[in-house]
Structure 1
């Protein structure tokens, strides 16, 4: 297990450097004029342009710029955005909001999808299973750019069940509606994976053996079927957590949530390279850590799995 852990950590380090290099190249290699983009239509004084160019090393070769950035990143210095704000301070404000939103969304998605998937897998071909499959098809076909404004209009503006916008420091209640909308990104897939996994394990030899020994249906499903069925579901949930944190751009924009997605969208629009690369670097670390934790959970869920 320890050798596997060390190997995965080394792979994660290589993945981190590779991903940050690609993102940095996409943001900086072919930039037009980020300083003028920031200033808009107003003319930018030459002395200001020169000072900003020296601060962000814009006159250095690309690889030198990347080296300056990585040296600061590895020492905990994320730099200054083009709006002259500390990126570290912006992260300290944005990340807690996005983490709360993503965790709330994953809880909603897991509660609904795992429960529905288990019932659908046990009662495969029944009315509940048919309705569930139809709902998953609708969720898969309905993009979040459509669902988010509709949910805001219907539940926030017309019915007034939830706040239409979350505000600067949203609580659980303010995040409930955007979290439910964000959960639809992964809910349909989790339902289908859970359903297929449960249905497959119900036809396994060990289930027939357990039933032949006289074990109750509740024990067969609760102890034997669910434990093996959760392995692919846990994998999907771990990946979905990172996807929800990275894919909250539309949701945070619609509901005015000052999180990671909101800042990323603003940074991409204004060509604020330091801001985008800083936030994406932390997202890469989140993905790597979540994937490692999910892989280690395999051995806990299934004693047959061992990492040598």
Structure 2
């Protein structure tokens, strides 16, 4: 297992290098720049700024300078937020983003698994139909539209929860953002769990367990849940990465102090350092989550072995 994990880590290095290179050149070749504001800067000031951030050098030189700094663990300075390094801004905003995404992940995973089990046991009955309807709403409606609707209904009309902003230690400010993030994730997990559970409940060993007189709850707990979780686990890694990336837009809509506000502002203002640094962070998180999911396969399914 450890040998397999080490091979996966080594194989991820060239993938990360290629992804960083592609992101670097896409950003630099896009129209506009970090100093192209509405108010034009004096030519001397603009030249000094470009020289300070190495933007006056050929593109290939800028690339090798960035890669050399990156190998030393330096993500570079922010070109728009004066006096801050990219690593400092990530350290400020990412803990809140991670807390928000993990909260939505845990809640959605528990609800999705339970809803999928209930729908599978009550196949083609009203609990199954209710679950399908909830899944369709969560999957079809994009998160930015869902966020606006929940803000309007529960934040403005009903005044049950704050429509935006953040006050430290006040959990009610997180109810609507977590709902927006968790709903589609729970819907996808419940669909996977429902289909997998229906298939497992029709297997020979489950029928044999029932024929021996075991109760339905005991059959589910001992024989059905664990194999039914295999396709769900395969989605959990990408699902958490979707929540982390999706939280960027949700944070911007609700005005939360996560990394989303830095990323969106940086993308609009061509702040190359923050965009590349955030992209690198999420890329390594996705690779790590996929590796963790592969390792969990061996625990859930005894037939899976990595050689």
Count, aligned residues: 305
**2:58 aligns to what?**
61
2 CA distance for matches of 1:214 and 1:226?
18
* Aligned CA distance change for structure 1 residues 143 and 229 (closer, same or farther; 3 Å): same
1:56-95 correspondence to structure 2 within 5 Å: 56-83=53-80, 84=82, 85-95=84-94
Residues 114-137 of structure 1: per-residue CA shift (max 9 Å, x gap): 111110011111110011112211
Establish whether residue 44 from structure 1 lines up as the match of residue 41 from structure 2.
yes
Kindly state the Cα deviation for residue 225 of structure 1 after the two structures are TM-superposed.
0.8
1 CA distance for matches of 2:94 and 2:170?
14
1 CA distance for matches of 2:42 and 2:79?
15
Establish whether residue 265 from structure 1 lines up as the match of residue 283 from structure 2.
no
Contact 2:167 2:173 in 1 (8 A): no
2 CA distance for matches of 1:146 and 1:161?
19
2 CA distance for matches of 1:223 and 1:171?
40
Give the stretch that moved more between structures: 210-219 or 104-113: 210-219
Contact 2:298 2:305 in 1 (8 A): yes
Moved segments of 4+, more than 6 Å? none
Kindly state the Cα deviation for residue 177 of structure 1 after the two structures are TM-superposed.
1.6
Question: Which ranges of structure 2 fall in alignment gaps of 5 or more residues?
Answer: none
* Aligned CA distance change for structure 1 residues 168 and 69 (closer, same or farther; 3 Å): farther
2 CA distance for matches of 1:61 and 1:200?
59
Q: TM-score scaled by structure 1? A: 0.93
Contact 1:97 1:170 in 2 (8 A): no
Residues 175-210 of structure 1: per-residue CA shift (max 9 Å, x gap): 222011111232221111110010111111221222
Residues 137-176 of structure 1: per-residue CA shift (max 9 Å, x gap): 1222212221101111222223232222232756543222
Residues 239-290 of structure 1: per-residue CA shift (max 9 Å, x gap): 1111111122321111001222222111111111111001111010100111
Q: TM-score scaled by structure 2? A: 0.94
Question: Which ranges of structure 1 fall in alignment gaps of 5 or more residues?
Answer: none
**2:297 aligns to what?**
298
